[in-house]
Chain A
Amino acid sequence: MITNMEKQAQAYEIMANNKDLNLKATELRLGLPGSESPEREVVVHGSAIKILVAGAKRGFSDAINGGYGVGLVKNGGQETDVLVTPKPALLEKKTQVSDKLNGQSSSPAPKQQVVGWPPIRSFRKNTMAVSHTKNEEKDDPKIGSGCLYVKVSMDGAPYLRKVDLEIYSCYLDLSSALEKMFSCFTIGQYGSHEVRTRDGLSETRLMDLLHGSEYVLTYEDKDGDWMLVGDVPWDMFIASCKRLRIMKSSDAIGLAPRAREKSRNCTEPNNE
């Protein structure tokens, strides 16, 4: 019978004989790639032990563009941007995390959504999404006071977000918030658009803010129809909106041809 030790020896022998395994390269180390650290050490900063998930590839990199997220913190209707660094587990090997780890232990990190995490089956995910929307429609004070969460999806983005429509007072606020939320996904230039105060009911404004004419903001109303955001007064909108979708303008056929035309007029020179 082969003993455990012999098995172990066997395994290591195989590894030693295979130079191309490049174990050293896959060995977890601190420091930038290319630098040789004299010996491997587990670095402890304060009470937290750092973890470098060097192999965190596809699931993460697909979901995280740029590595930094912007969280929205509700503060009585006004939005404040909170720029925070992600938790160390989300950073790639290349970055030195030690200093950042020390600094950010108290601030809440944005919880970036990762493929297949948390581990919930699709059926439950889909069902709970429907339940939640149904509850919102009922306007039952018991369920969740003053919350009107709707899902926001964007064509081409790997995951959905949710917004509470109650915290916005006009289309302008909503569109700025959405723009910030989805900025990491948009292709093309991220320009800084001046936010001009106006009685904002204009879909043109929304087009502008969504990076020219590339995308339009649409919503599904209570009847299941997809409408262009901005056509109706704000109060009517939040009463009937079930969910939002940032659609490619080329897909927004039949929604409101007039609006689409307007959007074309706003085309920036470097688009298409």
Chain B
Amino acid sequence: MNPHRKRAKTVDRVDSADSAAVSSESTQMRPFPSKPLSVDRVNSVESSDSSRMRPFKDKILLVDRVDSVESSESSRTSQFAGKVSGFDRVDSVEARVDSAGSTRMSRFPDEVLERVLALVDSHKDRSAVSLVCKEWYNAERWSRRHVFIGNCYSVSPEIVAARFPRIRSVTLKGKPRFSDFNLVPEDWGADVQPWLSVFSTAYPFLEELRLKRMAVTDESLEFLSKKFHGFKALSLLSCDGFSTDGLKAIATHCKNLTELDIQENGIDDLGGHWLSCFPDSLTSLEILNFASLNSEVSFDALEKLVSRCKSLRVLKVNRNISLDQLQKLLSHCPQLMELGTGTFMQELISGPVTEFKNMFSNCRNLITLSGLWDATPLYLPVIYPACARLTFLNLSYATLRSDELANLLSHCKSLRRLWLLDTVGDKGLEAVGSCCPLLEELRVFPADPFDQEILLGVTESGFVSVSRGCPKLRYVLYFCRQMTNAAVATIAQNCPDFTHFRLCIMNPGQPDYLTKEPMDEAFGAIVKTCTKLQRLAISGLLTDRTFEYIGKYAKNLETLSVAFAGSSDLGMEYVLQGCQKLRKLEIRDCPFGNAALLSGLTKYESMRSLWMSACNVTMNACRVLAKERPRLNVEVMRDEEGGDDSQANKVYVYRTVAGPRKDAPPFVITL
């Protein structure tokens, strides 16, 4: 069997089938298909790292010419078509004298290849590069410094280490996204320790680790801090299983730390002492984010830390830091680019507000502002001097009202990204539309999502106002309690460039509140008009018609989130058949059954994962899927013992080259 023939069409990550080529034999390569995929023109390759190559397209096109190559001794163009014979490791660079036209195929000198590839950053592009031919595959794997693993179970750490010998930076994502909303039990898995163990021998010089939805223990953090001597950057988002003791270890032992970014984790907060563990000798910190930790840190330690880290550009403190403490901090780091404030008010008004009015006047580089807990109209004007330069303003923890927001936004002409709470209401959103013409991203969060007796927040009219004033919108997350098809159609017309459209009508299955019709036409309008759409989250009363639209029009769609929608199996089938670029499909509480699940039989290998919970799928269908597709892991989470054909309540299907999980807990059954 030639694995490359069966390879998934869109190969863009390590978790994709290109790893399959490695997994079978780690060093021996199978022959490539006779006609390689082609690469885009390389217009100019300069030796300096600052120059940028034109990005490769999704499918690599044939290399026509290299117009100018400065660094290497052979500056002529070469063209190659057909197979590359031989297997040369790029790290052994030999002076190559190719006879230009004598053979059907001549290669780039390895040096040139390496130079060129060193400039390719995007992992999508790199995966594409690795498919060209054996030589490029090798050049790519030796030159790759950063690996992105979108599903930690799609590949094993051993496979990664075998393929990429020189990694300095790893991004790793674990649990399915619905674990953020308590749909995945604890102890599901995604433990980072097996990765760290392999990396400690394979990548002792690892510098960066970014984890999302992984299970991390204090022991792992200590292991990380002690085994990797040059370790620089740690980012933990939505992880759980550790406490502030783990942070202590990081602060204590990582002598070269540049980044500590702790966001929204299930962390056991045992106190703020961890911050005091940074040694006085540590001056390299550039990014420090502890906004989501509850305990108070020693302000003295923080102030000293901030003072001695001259390269600090991102500082996000937690709520315990008061306004006057913030002022002191800012006086030490006026070079900050991103600031997350603490509580934006004073309990006891010790002096006039004017004492703070110069707080931001020296912060000439500030482009991002967040935090602003408890911000009130009394203190908000303090930030006005910095507003003109802001490109990202996160007010999603400030319970502002429409007039307060309007006053603030009148100063914020450069905003590209804005996060709000729905306390600002439709009137507040009108202000957004009139003040922020450059806006590209808007997220509106509900202040009281679970409150059933309050009917406040934003409606369809606020959204329409924003769309009128902000035609460049491409990313929207919008929580509301009522919506109409007509409004969404208008919004789509006003903002045809949407790439991410996430609409959450908070009451499940709610129709257009004016016409009482399903919201099918709303999402139909979106997918028809917004051809660049990559991510879509739908809500409201929806029939199969919505999915028919999605399958027919959303040709660039990569991620789809569905809840309480659809009328029959057809819904899911439309999507699986029509959305060629679909990578992630997550479904909950929909009437999709076995036929729907199995209609995607041949599709799932081209996707990262499928999640289906509280649908109509049974164990037998899952067994069939597992049997027919051995390169998928079909996992079912069970609550209790059932018979042979009982409901499969939570199903998680993902492609993998690592085989079934070895660490699955008892409630996870891999079929």
Chain A residues proximal to chain B, CB less than 8 Å: 2, 4, 7-8, 10-11, 14-15, 18, 20-23, 26-28, 40, 42, 46-49, 51-60, 71-72, 74, 87-90, 105, 109-111, 113-125, 127-128, 131-132, 134-135, 140, 142-143, 149, 159-160, 162, 164
Contact = CB atoms under 8 A, between A and B. Distances in A.
Contacts, number: 210
Nearest to A42: B567
A4 B577 contact: yes
A120 B445 contact: yes
Closest 8 CB pairs of A and B: A89-B509, A116-B181, A26-B593, A55-B616, A7-B602, A123-B264, A11-B601, A55-B615
Nearest to A46: B516
Given A8-B599, A55-B616, A162-B450, 11 more contacts: A21-B594, A27-B569, A28-B616, A40-B568, A51-B564, A51-B565, A53-B590, A110-B452, A115-B182, A121-B238, A160-B450
Contacts of B543: 42, 49, 51
B594 A23 contact: yes
Given A21-B624, A27-B593, A121-B238, A48 B450 contact: no
A2 B8 CA distance: 12
B602 A87 contact: no
A8 B577 contact: yes
A22 B541 contact: no
B87 interface: no
Contacts of A142: 377, 401
B356 interface: no
A131 B373 contact: yes
Interface stretch (B68-76, B132-140, B326-334, B500-508): B500-508
A53 B591 contact: yes
Interface of B: 178, 180-183, 238, 264-266, 292, 373-374, 376-377, 396-397, 399, 401, 445-453, 479, 504, 506-511, 515-518, 541-543, 561, 563-569, 577, 588-595, 598-603, 613-618, 620-621, 624, 628, 639, 644-645, 647, 649
Contacts of B509: 51, 53, 87-90
A118 B446 contact: yes
Nearest to A74: B453
B618 A116 contact: no
Contacts of A11: 598-602
Contacts of B445: 120, 124
A28 B569 contact: yes
Contacts of B563: 117, 119
B661 to A, nearest CB: 23
A92 to B, nearest CB: 12
B564 A53 contact: yes
Contacts of A60: 589, 614
A12 to B, nearest CB: 8
6 contacts: A14-B601, A51-B542, A53-B589, A132-B447, A132-B448, A162-B450
Given A4-B577, A88-B509, A123-B292, A22 B447 contact: no
B47 to A, nearest CB: 41
Contacts of A52: 591
Nearest to B603: A7
Contacts of B374: 131, 134
Contacts of A132: 447-448
A143 to B, nearest CB: 7
Contacts of A26: 593-595, 616-618
